[in-house]
Chains A and B, each alone.
Chain A
Amino acid sequence: MGPLVPDIISNEFNFIIAIIVGMGFGFALEQAGFGSTRKLVGLFYGYDFTVLKVFFTAGVTAMVGITLLNHLGLLNVDIIFINPTFLWAAIIGGVIMGGGFIIGGFCPGTSVVAAASGKIDGWAFVFGAGIGILGFIEGYPLIKDLMVADNLGDLLVFEMMGISREAFALIMIFVATGAFVGVTIIENKVNNKATQWLRNDISKYSIGVGIAVVLVLITISTPTRNELMNERIDAKIASGECQPRLMEGDKLAFELIHQYYQYNVIDIRSAEEFKKFHIPTAINIPLEELHKQENLGIITQNIKTNVFYGASFEQSQRACLVAKYHGKADNFALTNTAEEFNSNFFVATKAEPQNKLENEVYLFRKDAARKLKEIGEAVANLDKPVAKKAKRVQGGCS
């Protein structure tokens, strides 16, 4: 499903979305008090930790939400924008920004909020940011090398720590909660106020934290849709019911020769194996990618008949069941493996057949091989599905 852009929502309409979420962003920041420079800077002098509270709550909320949506198969985390890690640029840029924060009293987003609510210092900061960016652009040739040094790619922090996404989300919830308690104590001390833990507040906030923890625990303890699918298919194969319909290699060859356009031949082996040999007119979707959103449109169409084949019969049987699991389509599993098909039709090393029946099969296969090759070449450029690969979204701030 998600992200909805660009397949469900067009790139043009995305600009309208931008205005709408921008309004939410601006509203949230202003309501939190981020339009006030003294409130922001309070973080660094201990008299007001609003920034930390808002920032951490927002980050953890979004983090838990993404973890949950990913688990439910509603959001494809493989294609959302991940800020790439250029280690030195990230550190040095961050350090310079830290200086800008304590001197200017804003960050770019909050300065826009301050400016919108009439603060002249907000306007001054926005103006200054423009100058800084201009300086960066004009000096870019000098900074270019630093900018691209130590590229670690789309590195995820939990991968780096060697733990799961869910575990990291859980850790962040506890870190944030601990920080909230800590800063409340510090804040009251700096402001010479006694720290009171009201029962009402404690239960209110415990519920909030509890919900977040429970949501993450649910994602840990329940299987994902993909796991569930495989589990059910395993169970069906094990119990012996629900055998997919089968098709012999010779039958497929016959059908392809006479009406190849009725068939959707799908090779579920890896791309390399596919490249070495594949049945003419076949397309390649590796088994482990069959259930992905971008491929479901091909395997659940109801115009052509699907014929799956792979390196083993078990593989094609499984692919057939995956397709069946996802919806209506006319599915067949090829009884022959790719290897067998190849040797039966294309590698004619067999001796002259002895009896009449064998001879007929031999002649049919020889003829079929020639015709299949012709058809394969003829449709090679016509009939291929448009290569559709979900691309990673471009985002970021620069």
Chain B
Amino acid sequence: MKEAPKKYMNPYLAGFFLGFVLLTTIYVTGRGLGASGAIKSFVVQSVESIAPEHAATTDYYITQKQNNPDGPLKSWLVFEVIGVIIGAFLSAVVSNRVTVKIEKGPGVKNTVRIAAAVFGGALFGFGSQLARGCTSGAALSGMAVMSFGGIVTMMSIFGMAYGLAWFFRKLWINKVN
């Protein structure tokens, strides 16, 4: 018998917990949290495995190799994201939230949702490299250390998302305003 999913944690409590994790990370390692960097490491590793000749002749991969002589996967963020997967899975298990499903706005087709997720992901991935970090690495960690660039990136992300919200309302809400 399957139990109903538990309620989410109080957002302020979850935020405090998250802030504490971030603070611990900065205290111990001197750097903040991140996510997109790990995905980049996987991309670089994939290209190096699939198309080694291309990687050997393109400047970007050569620089990456110089910075990470032990291979792109031996990077702090890759290990951190492995931890994120474990932690998120454990959290979902204890709260009965592990379900294989596609979550989407009301009345949206699965194919549309998946296509939008891939496209949105691509934009986010591209933008994160340009801004040197995503919501975790630039916005959240940047805000914690009071970096001007991090806060600018944060405002750009949320500002643009608000600006476009009306145009993409059919993806998320059914109401016609």
Please tell me which stretch of A152-160, A319-327, A337-345 contacts chain B, meaning at least 4 of its Cβ atoms lie within 8 angstroms of it. Answer: A152-160
* Structural contact, A94 and B85, CB atoms closer than 8 A: no
Please determine whether B144 and A91 come into contact, CB atoms closer than 8 angstroms: no
A135 contacts the other chain (CB 8 A): yes
Complex Cα–Cα for A238 and B132 (A): 52
Pick from B29, B105, B129: contact of A17, CB under 8 Å: B29
- Report the separation of the CA atoms of residues A143 and B129 in the bound assembly, to the nearest whole angstrom: 11
A210 within 8 A of partner (CB):
no
Report if A376 contacts B (CB, 8 A).
no
Q: Are B130 and A32 in contact (CB under 8 A)?
A: no
Given contacts A129-B39, A136-B126, contact A62 B80 (CB under 8 A): no
Interface size class of B (residues with CB under 8 A): 35 or more
User: B52 within 8 Å of A by Cβ?
Assistant: no
How many interface residues does A have (CB within 8 Å)? 134
With A63-B146, A131-B125, A157-B148 known as contacts, the answer to whether A104 contacts B117 (CB < 8 A) is yes
Q: Does A364 contact B (CB under 8 A)?
A: no
The distance in angstroms between the C-alpha atoms of A157 and B142, with both chains bound, is: 10
Query: Within 8 Å of chain A (Cβ to Cβ): is B59?
Result: yes
B87 touches A27 (CB 8 A): yes
Do A395 and B31 touch (CB < 8 A)?
yes
A22 contacts B125, C-beta separation under 8 Å: no
For A110, the chain B residues whose CB sits under 8 A away are 135
Contact of A62 (CB < 8 Å), options: B23, B61, B118, B149:
B23
Closest to A392 in B: B30
A84 to B25, CA, bound (A): 19
Task: Report whether B21 and A66 are in contact in the complex, using a CB–CB cutoff of 8 Å.
Answer: no
| Option from A53, A90, A108 in Cβ contact (under 8 Å) with B134 | A108
Within 8 A of B (CB), among A207-251: 208
Question: CB distance A130 to B42 under 8 Å?
Answer: yes
When chains A and B are docked, how far (Å) is the Cα of A89 from the Cα of B126?
A: 11
Per-residue interface assignment for chain A, residues 117 to 131, with 1 indicating a CB less than 8 Å from any chain B CB and 0 otherwise: 111111011111111
Which residues of A are found within 8 Å of B2, using beta-carbon distances?
Answer: none
Contact B15–A129 (Cβ < 8 Å): no
* Contact A108 B11, beta carbon cutoff 8 Å: no
Task: State whether the Cβ of A348 lies closer than 8 Å to any Cβ in chain B.
Answer: no
Contacts known (A22-B86, A94-B152, A117-B98); A61 close to B116, Cβ less than 8 A = no
- Other-chain contact of B128, A56, A66, A93, A113 (Cβ < 8 Å): A93
Select one of B19, B21, B143, B152 contacting A90, CB under 8 A: B152
Q: Bound complex: CA of A90 vs CA of B155, how far in Å?
A: 10
Contact residues in A for B148 (Cβ distance below 8 Å): 85, 152, 155-157, 160
Instruction: Report the bound CA distance from A114 to B157 in whole Å.
Output: 20
Using Cβ atoms and an 8 Å threshold, which residues of chain B touch A98? 127, 156-164
The residues of A that contact B83 with a CB separation of less than 8 Å are: 18-26
Query: Contacts of B140 on A, CB cut-off 8 Å?
Result: 55, 58-59
A101 to B154, CA, bound (A): 12
Within 8 A of A (CB), among B88-133: 88-92, 95, 97-105, 113-114, 116-133
What is the count of residue pairs linking A and B with beta-carbon distances less than 8 angstroms? 567
Chain A residue at minimal CB-CB distance from B92: A117
Check A105 against B128 for contact (C-beta < 8 Å).
no
Q: Smallest CB–CB gap between A281 and chain B, Å? A: 34
Residues in B with CB closer than 8 Å to A174 are: none
B89 CB, min distance to chain A CBs, angstroms: 5
Question: How far apart are the CA atoms of A394 and B145 in the complex, in Å?
Answer: 14
Question: In the complex, what distance in Å separates the CA atom of A243 from the CA atom of B20?
Answer: 45
Which residue of A59, A91, A112, A140 is within 8 Å of B60 (Cβ)?
A140
Residues from chain B with Cβ under 8 Å of A125 in the complex: 117-118, 120-121, 124
Question: Pick the contact of B156 from A39, A65, A90 — CB < 8 Å?
Answer: A90
Contacts of B39 in A (CB 8 A): 108, 126, 129-130, 133
Q: Say whether A141 faces chain B, with CB atoms less than 8 Å apart.
A: yes
Whether B12 pairs with A57 at a CB distance below 8 angstroms is: yes
Interface membership of A196, Cβ < 8 A: no
- List, in ascending order, chain A residues with CB within 8 A of B89's CB: 26, 116-117
- Min CB distance, A315 to chain B, in Å? 33
**Complex Cα gap A112–B138 (Å):** 17
A313 within 8 A of B: no
**The one of B12, B29, B98 that contacts A5, using a Cβ cutoff of 8 Å:** B29
Q: Which residues of the other chain, A, contact B24 by a CB distance below 8 angstroms?
A: 21, 24
A22 pairs with B118, CB closer than 8 A: no
User: Hey, which chain B residues are within 8 Å of A119, CB to CB?
Assistant: 100-103
Given A99-B160, A157-B148, 11 more pairs with CB closer than 8 A: A14-B76, A45-B169, A89-B132, A94-B156, A96-B126, A106-B120, A117-B97, A121-B117, A394-B31, A396-B32, A397-B132
Which B residues are within 8 Å of any A CB, using their own CB?
8-9, 11-12, 14-37, 39-40, 42-44, 46-47, 58-61, 74, 76-77, 79-92, 95, 97-105, 113-114, 116-165, 168-169, 171-173
Q: Can you list 6 A-B pairs, Cβ within 8 angstroms, ordered by A?
A: A2-B30, A20-B83, A21-B29, A100-B124, A107-B134, A398-B40
Pick the 5 closest A-B CB pairs, nearest first.
A104-B120, A22-B83, A128-B121, A94-B156, A98-B160
